[in-house]
Amino acid sequence: MMNDKLTIAVVGLGHVGLPLAMAFAKKYSVIGYDSNRIRINQLLEGKDKTGQVNAQQLAESGIDFTSDPSSLTAAGFIMIAVATPIDSADQPDLSQLLEACSIVGRYMKKGAVIVFESTVYPGATEEECIPKLEEYSSLESGVEFFVGYSPERFNPGERKLPITKIKKVVAGQNEAVLDYVAEIYGSVMDAGIFKAKSIRVAEAAKVIENTQQDVNIALINEFSLIFNHLGIDTGAVLETAGTKKSFLKFTPGLAGGPRLGIDSHYLAHKARAAGYEPEIILAGRKVNDGMGHYIARTVAKRLIQRNLPSRGTRVTVLGITYKEDVQDLRNSKIIDVIEELHDYGFEVQTSDCCADPQDADRKYGVMLTPEHELLPASAVILAMPHKQYKEAGWKLIQPLLDKQGGMVFDVKGVLEQQGKPENVELWRL
């Protein structure tokens, strides 16, 4: 295949696939395929629900957006970037990935190169995906079509660091495929390419990136739990310890999102299949999974200590997305806080300057209230400190409380003690 005449297809146009398609469209003819016709129609109308690409960029991209799988026949290089979540039992759910393989298998042409971007456990590409491609294409892998792996390194909310500015890991089923995949990705990735020694190595490297971060956050969260029991300010402790250069700077908080709360379970699944029972990574996830409930219980306890009954007492939650300054609600752990407060009987009102109200209602049944419509509350939980909230500080928070004051629960410790109104009690995780 001559690279200057190469047609590339991206399968799955979500948070990862769409930016990927946009990047490659600057150099190649790109087909953007998604089985969701509503998503395709929105993109054709210049609307991106993920908020990453505007109407002008979509119009100028030249991407052939389609929900017709037969269009994949024209592509010589196909990238699969679909979601790989976990199920209700915390086990890997590869259903969307395997469905994508069956579609690609039916329509890919002989000689095509298929590259997987989706996060999986080590071995999944060769053990699950390649057999599915062979089954539906009736072609032999490594002879009549070829497979590579390049794990996504998308960073939501980081507009100053697009995917082309992040070093890309690539892998192939043999040296020739590896070199070809590296050449294609390298033609658009400004930050360069790293060639992994094998597909399994690349899969493992991807799955431990977020697992490592998950464990580090869990450690700091456990520090916070301990210091709260001891009556010591966690922020002050971390600031002091941070004067040592080798001290890693993590902060306590709610660790969720599309991968952070998931990849540990992918690695644990494969470890168990190999006969090893993981301990540290699952212990860390257990701590992080419990933080939302801990915050809710702390709110309830503190309010009851102020002689405020749970029934009828109003609590305002600011921020519901899984990360600052993004509208992404996937696997938001703030939902745990809201649901438990509801269980206690509190009246909870929620606002978020970044989230899509329809998305919040559809995903979690949470109705978002505009800031100017929020009723005075006995407590405010600053759960996700978006830039708008941090810049406003106490000027935003104080008017949201009852006139007699109240409690503020600053989950990520961004509010300064200086400037705090006298009739307000501040609690920080």
162-188 pLDDT, tens digit per residue, is: 788 899 999 999 999 999 999 999 999
The model's confidence at residue 160, banded by pLDDT at 50, 70 and 90, is low
Tell me which architecture the domain covering 3-196 has in CATH.
3-Layer(aba) Sandwich (3.40)
The model's confidence at residue 159, banded by pLDDT at 50, 70 and 90, is low
How many residues would you count in the chain? 429
Residue 157 is predicted with a pLDDT of 56
Q: Examine domains 207-287 and 290-428 and report if their fold is the same.
A: no
The model's confidence at residue 91, banded by pLDDT at 50, 70 and 90, is very high
Average pLDDT over residues 136-157: 91
8-63 pLDDT, tens digit per residue, is: 999 999 999 999 999 999 999 999 999 999 999 999 999 998 888 999 999 999 99
**Mean pLDDT (the chain, rounded):** 94
Residue 158 is predicted with a pLDDT of 55
Q: Domain-by-domain residue ranges, the chain?
A: 3-196, 207-287, 290-428
The CATH number assigned to the domain with range 290-428 reads: 3.40.50.720
Residue 351 is predicted with a pLDDT of 98
3-state secondary structure the chain: CCHHHCEEEEECCCCCHHHHHHHHHCCCEEEEECCCHHHHHHHHCCCCCCCCCCHHHHHHHCCEEECCHHHHHHCCEEEECCCCCECCCCCECCHHHHHHHHHHHHHCCCCCEEEECCCCCCCHHHHHHHHHHHHHHCCCECCCEEEEECCCCCCCCCCCCCHHHCCEEEEECCHHHHHHHHHHHHCCCCCCEEECCCHHHHHHHHHHHHHHHHHHHHHHHHHHHHHHHHCCCHHHHHHHHCCCCCCCCCCCCCCCCCCCCCHHHHHHHHHHHCCCCCCHHHHHHHHHHCHHHHHHHHHHHHHHHCCCCCCCCEEEEECCCCCCCCCCCCCCCHHHHHHHHHHHCCEEEEECCCCCHHHHHHHHCCCECCHHHCCCECEEEECCCCHHHHHHCHHHHHHHEECCEEEEEECCCCCCCCCCCCCEEEEEC
270-327 pLDDT, tens digit per residue, is: 999 999 999 999 999 999 999 999 999 999 999 999 999 999 899 999 999 999 999 9
Average pLDDT over residues 350-357: 96
Backbone angles phi, psi at 243, to 5 degrees: -70, -15
Residue 156 is predicted with a pLDDT of 61
Average pLDDT over residues 355-380: 96
Residue 153 is predicted with a pLDDT of 85
Cβ contacts of residue 229 below 8 Å, gap of 6+?
Answer: none
Is residue 2 predicted with pLDDT exceeding 80?
no
Answer yes or no: are the C-beta atoms of 94 and 85 closer than 8 Å: no
Superfamily of domain 207-287: N-(1-d-carboxylethyl)-l-norvaline Dehydrogenase; domain 2 (1.10.1040.10)
132 or 326, greater pLDDT: 132
239-274 pLDDT, tens digit per residue, is: 999 999 999 999 999 998 888 889 999 999 999 999
Among 158-162, 278-282, 337-341, whose mean pLDDT is lowest?
A: 158-162
The model's confidence at residue 409, banded by pLDDT at 50, 70 and 90, is very high
Reported pTM = 0.91
